[in-house]
Chains A and B, each alone.
Chain A
Amino acid sequence: MTPQFDEIWVYLSASPLLGLTITLLAYQAAFWLYRRSGMNPLANPVLIAVTILVLLLTLTATSYETYFSGAQFVHFLLGPATVALAIPLYTQFSRVRALLLPVVAGLVAGSLTAALSAIAVARLFGASLPTQLSLAPKSVTTPIAMGIAERIGGIPSLTAVLVIVTGILGAVGARWIFDAMKLRDPAIRGFAIGVASHGIGTARAFQVSEQAGAFAALAMGLNGALTALLLPLLVGWMH
């Protein structure tokens, strides 16, 4: 390589341009694979893109902070995208209203199961207390989950990662679980995936059907609000 390449690299590695560009490239590569696999849930695009990026950053010895100074522009769009979920919700609202009781009952049962079973299993297998508390809000969408973790004594940035892994697990596994349960209703499938695995589950649900997506979006919003209210109280009682 010419000596100039070093200078270019020094410039690029400190500018936000590179972090943003590799995020989009990695995602497009991941999405292409996902398409090629016939949208097989195992080829989850978030999982593949994150794997590519972690390998790339590790190989080039780039810090996450440097990377994030560029990637934050993508991260920022989570806010307006969350607001935009109101539109499919509105389109599907007649079905949501007809299913009010199942929705409320499923929400409360699912929300409690998500938080309590995560803590219980982690405790059973000897995870440290900060890890247990970081796990508790793992089914809730990232910004809410990080806020909850901070309030109850978990580690917010660890929670962010556990939230993403939970989302991927749900998006990958839901189809087989629901098929095994012989469950076809897209409203139930969507709602359950939204409670268990928030936005990543919702993204997957939208790729399957708009109705499933709308129920997943509803579940994600409701579960975020409910967990934010309940979990600090539950953890208070456990101490």
Chain B
Amino acid sequence: MKRLWFLIPLAAFLALAVVLAVGLKRDPREVPSPLIDKPAPKFALARLDDANKTVRLEDLKGKAFILNVWASWCVACREEHPILVEFAKKRVVPLYGLNYKDTRPDAGAWLARFGNPYDASFFDEDGRVGLDFGVYGVPETFIVDGNGVIRMKHIGPITPEVLANKIEPLLKKLDA
């Protein structure tokens, strides 16, 4: 038994190597949000398509919904857009857009060109609501439950895998 003592440093080294290897695989750009499982920040924003209509967070409560942060200047948004368009056709939950630091003409033209999957988009011109949601890179996607609590955040473009493995199972759970 005593002879095996020399293995202890080796084991310690291997353990450290595994920890560091896992650390290397994690994406440092994905900052965990402190808002998960917290009430979504309150907001009151005009609709993108109608500057005279104000939407508040309270208006959206009652049913789980997806809030997708997008902008016409955001290249990665274009990547995820067809996936959102397809998803919206299924009509699982309301899909809202937070149009982040954009202009109305640009955003409108973008939706006309690539399709509009959103039940409504809210116009966050100066990005203040985005800041309240902890947005730091567009696109970002939030899943909010019927009580207005943020249940999930996805940073970066939505891929079919993320939709099938993370978002849809969560929505099913929230629906049940």
Chain B binds chain A: no
Q: Which residues of B contact A (CB under 8 A)?
A: none
Q: Which residues of A contact B (CB under 8 A)?
A: none
